[in-house]
Amino acid sequence: MSTVRELALEARRAFYELAKLPRSTKDKALMEMADTIWREKDRLLEAALTDVKSAQAEVEAGRLTKPVLERLKLDEVKLKAIVDMVKSVAALDDPVGKTLYAVELDDGFELYKVTCPLGVIGVVFEARPDVLPQISSLCLKSGNAVILKGGREAANINRALYTVIKESTERVGIPRGWIQLLEAREEIMELLKQDDLVDLIVPRGSNEFVRFVQENTRIPVLGHSSGVCQIYVDKAADITKAVEVCFDAKVQYPAVCNAVECILVHKDVAHTFLPKLAEWFSKAGVEMRCCPRAKEALSGFNVRDATEEDWGREYLDLKVALRVVDSLEEAVDYINKYGSKHTDAIITEDRSAASRFIAGVDSSTVIHNASTRFSDGYRFGLGAEVGISTSKIHARGPVGLEGLVTYKYILLGDGQKVSTYIGANAKKFKHKRLDKTWTPSE
């Protein structure tokens, strides 16, 4: 078996070829990938079934939770959705080769800023059969080589998908070795050491794992270690709207990073809004942890006292913190202090208040009058999603294909020397913006 270093070297070499391929070759390979996945469906469903059976034994032995088992299941409907997703990536615009900026430095001396792939991307992901094809197709479309490591519970389906994807794409002209699969947990640490070969690490999964990756590599990391989202209900909020949005943001799927964890309420509406919200939350079994003023507004309801640990906490569960604030500014300060710069929302009918909130909150996504749960690549119309980034550097928020590319400057001259533009008789630059795009010569 090859070492991780050898696999990464092979991926790097493949990247140099892959970066040069035109859109047509990449899209053809994606269609071939989709068709082959469908053609090989019996083999793939069988591999997934093997994982499910092993997981069932683990669940019975109390070593695995039921939700993990549920996520491992694959049937024809889910496989068809995977095939459609791959085809939809083929249909997306090519993120590579886009001219971002063009300027004439001097007559016939043109500068272009053009998007290009990042290089080799390492992705460590949870045990689910749909992640490997999604990440692979996004990487292929954006011209990147990829090194994959999936959750061990999905080992069989991941190996089967990897084999199908590798064979089908390399058969139609994608460079050998562009996709690599790691299978042992120890190999993750080796992968994190390859900072001269790997350009980006995308860790998915638990917050602890993301933090571990961030602390153990010099490779840039795209992701988020926590999703502490807040909703601020302003004094000018439509109360019914506020209750419905807060309920959706907490209850619709509490185990995800864009679910709300703390609801801030302006003091003027605390007594009208909070009891209505608490009625809905009580029915849904949501545990409410309240500041003294919120508790006072909710006398008669079964609530708990919040402690200092509840502010900025990610429950990922049917629990929520409730806090009364004196002003919009106090809500913004709270969010900038306790939030995780992921997604925060304001509910208000006052558009000027919404603008102040949007300008003041230092988060990747800021929402006016809608659920924090919309913070998602698919819902944002980015096609598929690689992950959600709370970093401010490079891609931020839900990340689609554009987070997998960078750019290079291309300068086209005819023998220009810097010495011409320096000194007493220096020629002046023109710096005239050009309305042209970079086109390589055949």
Kindly identify the residues of this chain, within the stretch 15-74, that bind its own copies according to CB under 8 A: 16, 19-20
Residues 204-223 that bind its own copies (CB under 8 A): 214-215, 218, 220
67 Cβ neighbours under 8 A, 6+ residues apart: 255
Per DSSP, the three-state class of 20 is coil
Residue 368 binding its own copies, by CB under 8 A: yes
Whole-angstrom distance, CA of residue 38 vs CA of residue 384: 20
Residues 374-413 that bind its own copies (CB under 8 A): 374-375, 379-381, 391-394, 396-398, 406-413
Whole-angstrom distance, CA of residue 311 vs CA of residue 358: 21
User: φ and ψ at 95, to 5 degrees?
Assistant: -75, -10
**Residues 144 and 222 sit within 8 Å (Cβ to Cβ):** no
Residue 8 binding its own copies, by CB under 8 A: no
Annotate each residue in 333-362 with x if it binds its own copies (CB under 8 A) or - if it does not, as one string: x--x----------x---xx-xxx-xxx-x
Q: Which is nearer to its own copies, 136 or 363 (CB)?
A: 363
Residue from the set 81, 255, 422, 426 that interacts with its own copies by CB under 8 A: 422
**Residues 439 and 114 sit within 8 Å (Cβ to Cβ):** no
Smallest gap from residue 239 Cβ to its own copies (A): 11
Query: Which helix (H) or strand (E) is 109 found in, with range?
Result: strand 109-117
Residue from the set 52, 236, 366, 384 that interacts with its own copies by CB under 8 A: 366
Q: Which is nearer to its own copies, 119 or 387 (CB)?
A: 119
Buried-state track 161-191, b at ≥16 Cβ within 10 A, e below 16: bbbbbbebbbeeebbebbbbbbeeeebbeeb
In terms of Cα–Cα distance, which of 72, 88, 193, 201 is closest to 134? Answer: 88
Whole-angstrom distance, CA of residue 187 vs CA of residue 155: 14
Q: Spell out where 163-233 has E strands.
A: 179-182, 200-203, 229-233
Residues 282-321 that bind its own copies (CB under 8 A): none
Smallest gap from residue 389 Cβ to its own copies (A): 10
Going by DSSP bridges, is the β-strand pair 200-203/260-266 parallel, antiparallel, or unpaired? unpaired
Q: Take residue 398 and report the two structure tokens written for it.
A: 């839900």
Smallest gap from residue 48 Cβ to its own copies (A): 24
Q: Take residue 323 and report the two structure tokens written for it.
A: 């806090």
Smallest gap from residue 250 Cβ to its own copies (A): 11
Smallest gap from residue 138 Cβ to its own copies (A): 17
- DSSP-derived secondary structure letter, 30: H
Count of residues in contact with its own copies, rule CB under 8 A:
80
Residue from the set 244, 268, 287, 314 that interacts with its own copies by CB under 8 A: 244
Q: Which is nearer to its own copies, 50 or 355 (CB)?
A: 355
Q: Which is nearer to its own copies, 299 or 425 (CB)?
A: 425
Cα atoms found within 13 Å of the Cα of residue 394, Cβ hemisphere only: 21
Residues 71-90 that bind its own copies (CB under 8 A): none
Residue from the set 136, 137, 168, 365 that interacts with its own copies by CB under 8 A: 365
Residues 262-281 that bind its own copies (CB under 8 A): none
Residue 421 binding its own copies, by CB under 8 A: yes
**Residues 158 and 166 sit within 8 Å (Cβ to Cβ):** no
Q: Which is nearer to its own copies, 3 or 406 (CB)?
A: 406
Smallest gap from residue 102 Cβ to its own copies (A): 10
- DSSP letters of 123-175? EE--S-TTHHHHHHHHHHHTT-EEEEE--GGGHHHHHHHHHHHHHHHHHTTPP
Q: Take residue 431 and report the two structure tokens written for it.
A: 């710096």
Q: Which is nearer to its own copies, 266 or 293 (CB)?
A: 266
Q: Which is nearer to its own copies, 58 or 244 (CB)?
A: 244
Q: Is 428 exposed, middle or buried (0-12, 13-18, 19+ CB in 10 A)?
A: exposed
Residue from the set 62, 285, 300, 440 that interacts with its own copies by CB under 8 A: 440
Residue from the set 58, 170, 190, 238 that interacts with its own copies by CB under 8 A: 238
Smallest gap from residue 409 Cβ to its own copies (A): 4
Residue from the set 1, 61, 418, 424 that interacts with its own copies by CB under 8 A: 418
Residues 95-124 that bind its own copies (CB under 8 A): 103, 105, 109, 111, 118-119
**Residues 239 and 269 sit within 8 Å (Cβ to Cβ):** yes
Smallest gap from residue 248 Cβ to its own copies (A): 4
Residues 183-202 that bind its own copies (CB under 8 A): 199-200
Residue from the set 241, 267, 271, 276 that interacts with its own copies by CB under 8 A: 241
| Candidate segments 84-92, 156-164, 260-268, 416-424, binder of its own copies by CB under 8 A | 416-424
